Amino acid sequence: MHPTPSTRPILVIGATGAIGSQVVRALLARGAPIRVFVRSPGKVAALPAHVERAVGTLEDPEAIDRALQGVQAAFYVSPHDELEEVFAEHVVSACERAGVRLVFSGVHSGGKTRLARFAQRTIFGLLMPHYRGKLRLAERIRTSRTRPVILMPGNYYQMDEVCRAELLAGRYPFPMGLVPRVDTRDVGEAAARALLDPSVPGGDYALVGPESLSGAMTAAHWAAALGRPVTHVPDLAVTDALFGRAYGGRKALDCQKSYRTVGKVKVKTSAAELRQTEDLLDRAPRSFAEYAREVASEWLATERAAPPAHQAAITPPAAAAR
């Protein structure tokens, strides 16, 4: 059951991002009052008029203070930026001053004690050194005076949409050992629950789909959804080019480095992680097969109407040499 929305708004910082936009969508579906914190109102012009716009930047603590006035809770996801720890400190400190609960989604080493989290953070930092700043800021949030809820999602299903043209051409290029994955819509709905329901205990929450997926398993799901062969052909050069073209800058670099680790690890989804996800959602999480069928249906309809020339497949180097 959805909790009855308060009359006080929920502040969403990063409302135009992959996760923030899903948080807004989930809050709107629940009839909750919303305030978004944006650099430019034009970026959220498509949102309903009743959604409040608070204009400012993460560089400006006073703007964050103003945006937090009168809110019930706040959502934050760290941007891919060299100043990510500074920005997070501005948000956390402002929430502490305002006495506002903070719900955060991102990279975090979970655990009930500081020592357990330190050990996990050390291991994670060795595997993915480019995420050390994100791990530090997440721990700052975890130990803050905001009764924080830390959401720790697996690899997003929606990342695969970056390689749409390759999938339609029969190739899945992302390196992937065996990793927990999750639908961004489920992340948004879990965040909405934590933002609206004060009874949700503070702490760390894993967010996962029903099963971990390998590259071969992912390719098989796409083949079934598209009704054509799709082979897992892991290729870091193609992966790098795809993220460079889709995002550019720090976000592309973070994704490129992450998939170097994702391709090597083998992590099974645990029963405890699945229970945490189900408890927050009050239902089972969406499966990758369900997600792939929905997206493939849209892609095939578009393909029949006109080929996606704007997103041509990247030719693997080995094929180009033949």
Q: Are 162 and 301 in the same domain?
A: yes
Task: Give residue 321's pLDDT band: very low, low, confident or very high (50, 70, 90).
Answer: very low
- Greater confidence (104 vs 4) lies with 104
Q: What is the mean pLDDT of the chain?
A: 90
Q: Are 70 and 176 in the same domain?
A: no
- Greater confidence (68 vs 311) lies with 68
Over residues 204-210, mean pLDDT = 96
Strands laid side by side in the 149-153 sheet? 52-55, 34-38, 10-13, 73-76, 101-105, 149-153, 203-207
In a domain? residue 200: no
In a domain? residue 4: no
CA trace torsion 174, 175, 181, 182 (10° rounding): -20
Domain count for the chain: 2
CATH of the domain at 167: 3.90.25.10
- Residues 34-59 as b or e (16 or more Cβ within 10 Å = b): bbbbbeeeeebeebeeebebbebebe
Does the structure show a pLDDT above 80 at 152? yes
Q: Are 146 and 164 in the same domain?
A: no
Contact 135, 108 (CB under 8 A): yes
- Number of H helices and E strands in the chain, helices first, is 13, 12
Q: Are 166 and 130 in the same domain?
A: no
In a domain? residue 189: no
In a domain? residue 275: no
Quote the pLDDT of residue 288: 98
HSE at residue 207, side-chain half, CA atoms within 13 A, is 31
Q: Are 130 and 173 in the same domain?
A: no
In a domain? residue 174: yes
Q: Are 98 and 161 in the same domain?
A: no
Q: Are 149 and 249 in the same domain?
A: no
The percentage of the chain sitting over the pLDDT mark of 90, rounded to a whole number, equals 80
Residue 123 burial (10 A CB sphere; 0-12, 13-18, 19+): exposed
* pLDDT tens-digit map of 245-278: 999 999 999 999 999 999 999 999 999 999 999 9
Contact 106, 77 (CB under 8 A): yes
State which residues form the domain around 128. 10-153
Contact 188, 23 (CB under 8 A): yes
Least confident of 55-59, 100-104, 115-119, 267-271: 115-119
Where helices occur in the chain by DSSP H, the ranges are 20-29, 61-68, 84-98, 114-127, 132-142, 164-168, 184-196, 215-226, 236-246, 249-262, 271-281, 288-305, 317-321
Q: Are 233 and 125 in the same domain?
A: no
Q: Are 123 and 166 in the same domain?
A: no
In a domain? residue 38: yes
In a domain? residue 26: yes
In a domain? residue 142: yes
Q: Are 136 and 222 in the same domain?
A: no
Q: Are 96 and 220 in the same domain?
A: no
CATH of the domain at 118: 3.40.50.720
Q: Are 48 and 91 in the same domain?
A: yes
Over residues 47-56, mean pLDDT = 96
